[in-house]
Structure 1
């Protein structure tokens, strides 16, 4: 968090002397002072005019003095920037393709429809939220809320959020898993604290592989209600943003259709037929994810489950 022990920096910001703040960022980053650079970068991304804040990511600085998608303080600098300005104000300012892409998807999460106002996504992910994406959460909780002086607030989307609507269920015996599928490989790397499995069968058949209990408290829910937790699980560290979580969900859905890129009609049909299941675990505390989906068209089911390893992971 920015403490502004450097009174000169605070004065520069208050007076709008952003070019000098940018110079301080570049020197700190080039010298490897990561924390200091992150603080200066946060200040710029949050408060500077878009034409100057975007220069965090340009190539004019000294070697090593330019931010990339990994630079962060309370969150990625590109996400801080994307929460402060519309795409129309940023489009002509942002050069690097990876940054542009993540800013675009952040703006989509915040409600902008950019299907006709920006370059198409390289993987075919739509630049406007699908109805099932928007249904499960309030716009204000989709991206971290950044603070001017550093730090951020983020609503936790644990799944299940509670036991309402869930009931007792006896799990079946563990069946044979289905190896080698791209969707399973993506889910295996989805979050460092979660495990994934794929089976031929139903969602409870998959769940049986991820919990030692034979009787659980669980139930079915619309996929849209599970979506916020899936986005957040894939973006729950300070160097990752909600746009990366959204892209991770779409990659998994594309893989479940058997494709490497998103074919929108196929993904829409998949989401419409998926049966989504969630359950609770005795050790659930702060942030956790227990979700399984079954595809009646293929007879396959995937489950993903885990708890964050310690408080404050997010």
Structure 2
């Protein structure tokens, strides 16, 4: 049964009456914040926010995130339906259109990195990233993806499509491997914490030794199907691990990955030169697990310059 309110909103959408829709969104969000709190209010009003972010002219859509509507009316970085509302907006318009309109710094930054992920070079057209993450894709960031798969593909009325990126995705190129005895776990590494923040559903370890010795810490089997692969092939799965939850977008995954790589390279932040040097020398090992679900990640990364290896393993399915 279609309620009167749903019919009215549908009429406003079909008529392109975006100012009225924005006003309705703001009223609903502020009322819900007062009644049930910020988190539930964001969830209740996100479907209408999705419609506005997807289809409204950018001059109006950016006002979803503006404070001019009063307390409780502005969407934040965690407001989401099929994905974050800021990511929906960022997939619809170029940085040239959005840059003069976007105000809130956290949203502005995430939108900029989303535009980078869809292929824009903002290295000369936007303010520098506060952590130093480059505003253009490095070759190793773009090499392992299918066409148009770096960001969710959003649908006009809600919902999205996204690539299911797991590592290893297939057994092609892999073979039987006898893992060595696991090396001793090193604790207190900043890079370990950064990798754990990237893939919150995975276990992360650091060892002093080659990549297979790190992998052996996270699998009970000594004989596995595995093999080495370039980091560029592993990069998409790592980024998607950081964006697996609908409250996070691909830009969150990219920023988290750069933080982790920066820590692995020994820097205080994601230094571009240091990260690129690390990626160029790193040796990556992946393996299969018989219990793997649809989304899984098994990767060990070895830095020959330091003799350290990190392994990340798990599945985001129960």
Please classify the TM superposition score into its range, dividing by the shorter chain length. over 0.9
Match of 2:207 among 199, 203, 206: 199
Alignment partner of 1:6 is 2:21: no
The gaps in structure 2 that reach 5 residues or longer are: 33-40
Q: Map 1:40-55 onto structure 2 (within 5 A).
A: 40-55=48-63
State the distance in 1 between where 2:199 and 2:305 align. 27
State the distance in 2 between where 1:213 and 1:36 align. 45
What residue is the counterpart of 1:309 in the other structure? 317
Q: Map 1:68-87 onto structure 2 (within 5 A).
A: 68-87=76-95
What residue is the counterpart of 1:22 in the other structure? 22
Contact 2:294/2:317 (<8 A) preserved: no
> What displacement does 1:189 show?
2.6
Distance 1:4 1:294, change over 3 A: farther
What residue is the counterpart of 1:62 in the other structure? 70
Higher helix share: 2
> What displacement does 1:262 show?
2.1
Alignment partner of 1:293 is 2:301: yes
Distance 1:63 1:236, change over 3 A: same
TM-score (normalizing by structure 1): 0.96
> What displacement does 1:171 show?
1.1
Contact 2:199/2:238 (<8 A) preserved: no
Distance 1:54 1:282, change over 3 A: same
> What displacement does 1:10 show?
1.0
Q: Map 1:1-314 onto structure 2 (within 5 A).
A: 6-32=6-32, 33-310=41-318
Report the 3-state secondary structure (helix = DSSP H, G, I; strand = E; otherwise coil) of the residue aligned with 1:137: coil
| Segment drifting more, 280-289 vs 78-87 | 280-289
> What displacement does 1:302 show?
0.2
| Segment drifting more, 50-59 vs 180-189 | 180-189
Distance 1:181 1:4, change over 3 A: farther
TM-score (normalizing by structure 2): 0.94
State the distance in 2 between where 1:268 and 1:142 align. 20
> What displacement does 1:170 show?
1.0
Deviations 1:86-135 (A, max 9, x none): 00000011001100110000000000000000000011100010001110
State the distance in 2 between where 1:189 and 1:126 align. 20
State the distance in 2 between where 1:262 and 1:308 align. 26
Deviations 1:234-270 (A, max 9, x none): 1101110000001111001100111122221111111
Contact 1:28/1:34 (<8 A) preserved: no
The gaps in structure 1 that reach 5 residues or longer are: none
Contact 2:300/2:310 (<8 A) preserved: yes
> What displacement does 1:4 show?
10
How many residues are paired up? 308
Contact 1:113/1:128 (<8 A) preserved: yes
Distance 1:291 1:137, change over 3 A: same
Report the 3-state secondary structure (helix = DSSP H, G, I; strand = E; otherwise coil) of the residue aligned with 1:208: helix
Contact 2:43/2:79 (<8 A) preserved: no
State the distance in 2 between where 1:50 and 1:298 align. 48
Supply the RMSD in Å over aligned alpha carbons.
1.3
Contact 1:218/1:279 (<8 A) preserved: yes
State the distance in 2 between where 1:180 and 1:294 align. 18
Contact 1:183/1:255 (<8 A) preserved: yes
Report the 3-state secondary structure (helix = DSSP H, G, I; strand = E; otherwise coil) of the residue aligned with 1:140: coil
